[in-house]
Amino acid sequence: MQLGELQQQVEQFERRGVELVAVSVDEPSDAAPMIARLGLEYPVLSDAKLGVIGAFGLENPEIEDLALHAIFIVDQGGHIFYRKVARRRPYSPELLDAVDYHRGRYQGPVELADAPPLRPWKGWRLIDAMGLVLAAPEPTAELPSGQREELEAILADLVAAREDPALRKWRAFCRAHMDVDNASAILDLGRWLMRRAYLEGVDYEAPLGELREATGTLRALLNRRAELAADAATPREALDQLDLEIGAARNAVQIKATALGELSQGELRSLWDLKSMLKAMDELHAAELRRLTR
């Protein structure tokens, strides 16, 4: 997601005196899980009634109540000196270059801060996400009139990597069809869609098995180290040797997780997208369930 990528480079913007502000069509309560998940430190404002979005002509013509992807950079005099409205969201280098050029300070490509390295637990989370998706049962009964068409529309957006429309339609589906009694079944439907969108036709079994084996080895080493560290009689050399083995095991998890995460049916998405989209869909489902049980 671009918001997370901007957060990674927030110091570059602050160094230039640039304040980042995001505007979302979501209500604050709906946006809160996403803000927490991405660790956003800059404001994310709510424009659920599309007042600002409409004033800039950014209503999505294809999907009601959704905005087009857009970036505006405004100088201190209130003049817009950069704008982009497109399917592809621009990333930090393009925006930082625009700021430098506007100020007459452009000196070539910006050297960005490194993205956070892949952590072993991300491999574990990918395994967990795939486990949830693979365990979701297919609908055993014919879906009520209209529901299958709504789900197929969500699936089409997932397959085409149209994340925002897919999540918008999923929220609408939950609000229209979910109650306390069928909440679990609705959640299964969402995970069934994810399996169809991300795993059909993908040869994931071998790399998933290799990642499971690598994470199992790492977990065993970490548990062993905890046991030895709790024993005062354990020599320092034994812990040092175990630390070397743990380091090698962490690297192995990262390599296997990267190989699995980059699998996809095409160039538009990967299994890393499955992990993040599954979390987003689960959060929207949970938000609707909380609303129902208030």
pLDDT (tens digit, 9 = 90+) per residue, 224-241?
Answer: 988 988 888 888 898 889
pLDDT band with cut points at 50, 70 and 90 for residue 19:
very high
Residue 164: what pLDDT?
A: 81
Q: Residues 175-197: what's their mean pLDDT?
A: 91
Average pLDDT, the chain: 83
Q: Collect all residues with Cβ–Cβ distance below 8 Å to 261 and sequence separation of at least 6.
A: 126, 270, 271, 272, 275
Structural domains for the chain: 2-102 (3.40.30.10), 118-294 (no CATH)
pLDDT band with cut points at 50, 70 and 90 for residue 258:
confident
Per the CB < 8 A criterion, the answer to whether 55 and 96 are in contact is no
Cα separation, 45 vs 232, whole angstroms: 53
Q: Which of 78-87, 102-111, 250-259, 278-287 has the lowest mean pLDDT?
A: 102-111
Phi/psi of residue 59, each to 5°? -65, 140
Query: Is the pLDDT reported for residue 144 higher than 80?
Result: no
| Residue-wise pLDDT tens digits, 38-73 | 778 899 999 988 899 989 888 877 666 778 888 999
